[in-house]
C-alpha cells in the first residue's frame, strides 16, 4: 500500500502549512468509517489499530453504546460548560462511576482537560498541603506531560525540555538503585522538604519499562514512613488497560494521589478528599465541563464493567506476549494490554513501524528502540494473530541488508519518534 493515499495527502499537505507546530502525523487521515479495532482512512485503506489513539480510545471505532451517548447530546447547546463553577448532572454521574473503581481512600477527584493537567494538579495539591516542601521527585525516562510543571518531571527525551524553565525536582533511577538514592536524599534533606514522589507504574513514552517490584514496594515503604505523598501517574496505564482498573494495583500498592485521563475521556486528579485545597486554589474554565466527554467517560467505565473487559484484557495480553515470544523478539514485556518488545536499534524500530503501517497495522514506538502494542480492550485472538503475522512478515522484509523505505512515506517517518 502506498501511504499517504491521494485524499489523505491533500489534507496533510495543507495541514502542514497551517499548524503551529512542526507537524508530522502518521501518513493517513482518518475517515469516519471503522468498526471495532479497525478503521478506514480517507482513501479507503483499512487499518488494524494497535495504538488505540495512544491509549485514549479503549473501546475501538463506532462502538454502538458510545454512539448512542453521542446521539443523545447531538441536539444540546451549549455542550461545554465552565465546569468548575457551574455544575451539570454529568459531573456527578462520572464521579460516582469513577469512585466505584478507585481504591477506597481515594474518594474524590478533580476533573480537568488533559493528562498533563491531571498531573499538574496532582503535584499542586501535594505542594499546597506541605508549606515546607521545596522540591519534588521523579524518575529518569519518565513522561508526565508537556505543561511546564509536568514537563519538569518528564525525562524521557531531552528534546521535550530544551530551554524550558523547571520546577525544582530531583531524579531517581527507575530501578532498585532508586531506594538507595532516595535514602541518600533523605540523609541530606528533611522529609518535609519533599513535596511528592511521582512515578508511572509502567513507563509509557519512556519505553514500556515495568517498575521493578523491589523498587516500587521499597519506595512505598519509605514514602509511608516519611509521610511523602506518592503519586501514581495512571494517565496511560489506568482505566483498566493493565487488567486491573489501576496499574499500581498490580503491585498491591495504594498511592496517595493518582492522575488519570486518556481512556477516561477527561483528565482527573484523584485522591482523598482531605488532600484537596480550599476553594479557588485549583481550577480551570473548561476543566471537566464538557458534557459529552463526561458522559462518554462514564459510559466507558460502565461498558468495561458490563462486558467484563478486564478479563479480556488479561487473557488477550497473555496471548499477545506468547505470540511475540514465539516470534523471538527481544525483551517481550507487559501487563494486560500494555505490551512492548525491543529491536536492535532505532532504525530497525522505525522501519518496522512504517512497514507494518504499509501492511495495514498501526503500532507505536516508545523509548528509542521499542515498539508498544496497545490495542483496544475488545481485541480478539484472531486479530492478535493477524497483527503478529503482519509484524513477522514486515520484520523479515526490513531485516534484509540495505533495506530502505521508498516514496512519500519517507517524509512521515519522524512521527514514530515523538509520540506520547
Residues that bind ligand PLP (CB under 6 A): 114-116, 119, 143-145, 200, 204-205, 233, 235-236, 261, 420
CB closer to ligand PLP out of 119 and 210: 119
d(CA 268, CA 224): 23
Query: Which residues are 209's β-sheet partners?
Result: 203
**Beta carbons of 49 and 56 less than 8 angstroms apart:** no
| Cell numbers standing for residue 297 | 467517560
CB closer to ligand PLP out of 42 and 235: 235
| Cell numbers standing for residue 35 | 468498526
Helix or strand or coil: residue 249? helix
CB closer to ligand PLP out of 45 and 236: 236
| Cell numbers standing for residue 189 | 534533606
CB closer to ligand PLP out of 144 and 244: 144
Least distance (Å) between residue 343 CB and ligand PLP? 21
Provide the strand spans (E) within 173-329. 194-199, 202-203, 209-210, 230-233, 257-260, 267-271
Residue nearest to ligand PLP (CB): 115
CB closer to ligand PLP out of 235 and 253: 235
Least distance (Å) between residue 116 CB and ligand PLP? 3
Classify residue 377 by its DSSP letter: T
CB closer to ligand PLP out of 97 and 205: 205
CB closer to ligand PLP out of 27 and 207: 207
Scan for cell 512519500, then name that residue.
408
Q: Phi, psi at residue 36, to the nearest 5°?
A: 60, -120
Least distance (Å) between residue 258 CB and ligand PLP? 11
Largest Cα–Cα distance in the chain?
A: 63
Between helices 64-72 and 291-306, what is the axis angle to 10°?
A: 150
CB closer to ligand PLP out of 122 and 179: 122
Helix or strand or coil: residue 139? strand
Least distance (Å) between residue 212 CB and ligand PLP? 18
Query: Which residues are 38's β-sheet partners?
Result: 35, 48
CB half-sphere exposure, 231, CA atoms < 13 A: 31
Least distance (Å) between residue 231 CB and ligand PLP? 11
Cis peptide before 326 (omega within 30 of 0): no
Amino acid at each position: 500500500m502506498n501511504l499517504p493515499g491521494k485524499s489523505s495527502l491533500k489534507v496533510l499537505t495543507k495541514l502542514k502549512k497551517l499548524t503551529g507546530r512542526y507537524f508530522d502525523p502518521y501518513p493517513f487521515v482518518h475517515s469516519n468509517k471503522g468498526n471495532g479495532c479497525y478503521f478506514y482512512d480517507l482513501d479507503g485503506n483499512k487499518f488494524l489499530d494497535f495504538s488505540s489513539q495512544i491509549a485514549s480510545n479503549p473501546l475501538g471505532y463506532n462502538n454502538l453504546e458510545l454512539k448512542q451517548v453521542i446521539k443523545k447530546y447531538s441536539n444540546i447547546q451549549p455542550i461545554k460548560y465552565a465546569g468548575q463553577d457551574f455544575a451539570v448532572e454529568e459531573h456527578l454521574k462520572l464521579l460516582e462511576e469513577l469512585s466505584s473503581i478507585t481504591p477506597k481512600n481515594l474518594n474524590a477527584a478533580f476533573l480537568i482537560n488533559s493528562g498533563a493537567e491531571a498531573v499538574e494538579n496532582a503535584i499542586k495539591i501535594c505542594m499546597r498541603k506541605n508549606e515546607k516542601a521545596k522540591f519534588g521527585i521523579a524518575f529518569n525516562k519518565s513522561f508526565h506531560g508537556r505543561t511546564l510543571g509536568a514537563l519538569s518531571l518528564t525525562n524521557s527525551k531531552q528534546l521535550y525540555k530544551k530551554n524550558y524553565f523547571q520546577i525544582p525536582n530531583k531524579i531517581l533511577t527507575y530501578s532498585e538503585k532508586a531506594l538507595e538514592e532516595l535514602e541518600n536524599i533523605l540523609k541530606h534533606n528533611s522529609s518535609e522538604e519533599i513535596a511528592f514522589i511521582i512515578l508511572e507504574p509502567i513507563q509509557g513514552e519512556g519505553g514500556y519499562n515495568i517498575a521493578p517490584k523491589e523498587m516500587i514496594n521499597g519506595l512505598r515503604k519509605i514514602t509511608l514512613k516519611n509521610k511523602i505523598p506518592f503519586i501514581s501517574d495512571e494517565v496511560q496505564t489506568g482505566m483498566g488497560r493493565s487488567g486491573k482498573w489501576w496499574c499500581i494495583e498490580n503491585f498491591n500498592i495504594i498511592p496517595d494521589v493518582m492522575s488519570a485521563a486518556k481512556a477516561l475521556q477527561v483528565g482527573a486528579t484523584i485522591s482523598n478528599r482531605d488532600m484537596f485545597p480550599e476553594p479557588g486554589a485549583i481550577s480551570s474554565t473548561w476543566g471537566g465541563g464538557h458534557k459529552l466527554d463526561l458522559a462518554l467517560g462514564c459510559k466507558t467505565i460502565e461498558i468495561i464493567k458490563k462486558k467484563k473487559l478486564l478479563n479480556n484484557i488479561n487473557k488477550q495480553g497473555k496471548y499477545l506476549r506468547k505470540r511475540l515470544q514465539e516470534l523471538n523478539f527481544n525483551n517481550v514485556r507487559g501487563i494486560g494490554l500494555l505490551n512492548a518488545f525491543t529491536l536492535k536499534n532505532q532504525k530497525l524500530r522505525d522501519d518496522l513501524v512504517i512497514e507494518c503501517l504499509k501492511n495495514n497495522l498501526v503500532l507505536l514506538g516508545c523509548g528509542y528502540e521499542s515498539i508498544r502494542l496497545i490495542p483496544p480492550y475488545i481485541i480478539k485472538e484472531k486479530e492478535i494473530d493477524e497483527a503478529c503475522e503482519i509484524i513477522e512478515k514486515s520484520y523479515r522484509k526490513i531485516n534484509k541488508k540495505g533495506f530502505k523505505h521508498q516514496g512519500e512515506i519517507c517524509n512521515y517517518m519522524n512521527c514514530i519518534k515523538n509520540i506520547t
